[in-house]
Amino acid sequence: MNPLNSSGDNLDYLCLDFEGVLIPEIWQEVSKATGIEDLMLTTQDLESYEELMDIRLKLVSDNNITIHDIMEIVKKMEPMDGAADFLSWARDNFQVSIVSDTFYELCWPLVRKLNYPHLICHHLELNGSEIIGYKLKQDNNKQKVIEAIKETMKFKVFAAGDSYNDINMLNSADQGFFFQAPSHIKEKYPHLETIKDHNELKIKLENYL
């Protein structure tokens, strides 16, 4: 990576959500594989992440779904079309971090398929193969990561996400973008520009290089 941009300044920073921006929604893939309809719910449906995770953990427990069961599903998943090429370009032009409400224990096969980008997310709590809970990296993690990069590290920060749990991150960035966000979220936050695909996001970001 070139440590300087064309003006000779340090590279700006890009923070990306993971699920819905670079990879499909993991829990929705679990829903498809198991037939458990309520696992289709995501942070595009519920504003409360805690409520969403309570639903997921109960369904996992009630249906005896283990971490190994989920990992077999995740291993078969692939990044979204265009994601790998976009991420490669982004890492050559920005300092990049994925800031996600997923879990290291679930998503690592997909991190590997994207050539190990920097990832900041949460941990599952396990009892053997049983999923018994989760531990947040920190409360309001996405917003706090952006604030730290801007205020402590003194970078200009761009961000892209698709769901309710990305709003604080996008608002805290110097420039935030919705990526393929559904209409009910876009309409609630009309000040955030919506991007239709990775190529359009690349074009938008190129304007800042």
Single-letter code of the amino acid located at 130: E
β 13-16/119-127 pair status:
unpaired
Structure tokens at 6: 């064309």
Tell me how long the chain is: 209
CA–CA distance, 40 with 27 (Å, rounded to integer): 6
Residues annotated as catalytic are: 17, 19
* Helix axes of 67-75 and 104-113: crossing angle, nearest 10 degrees: 20
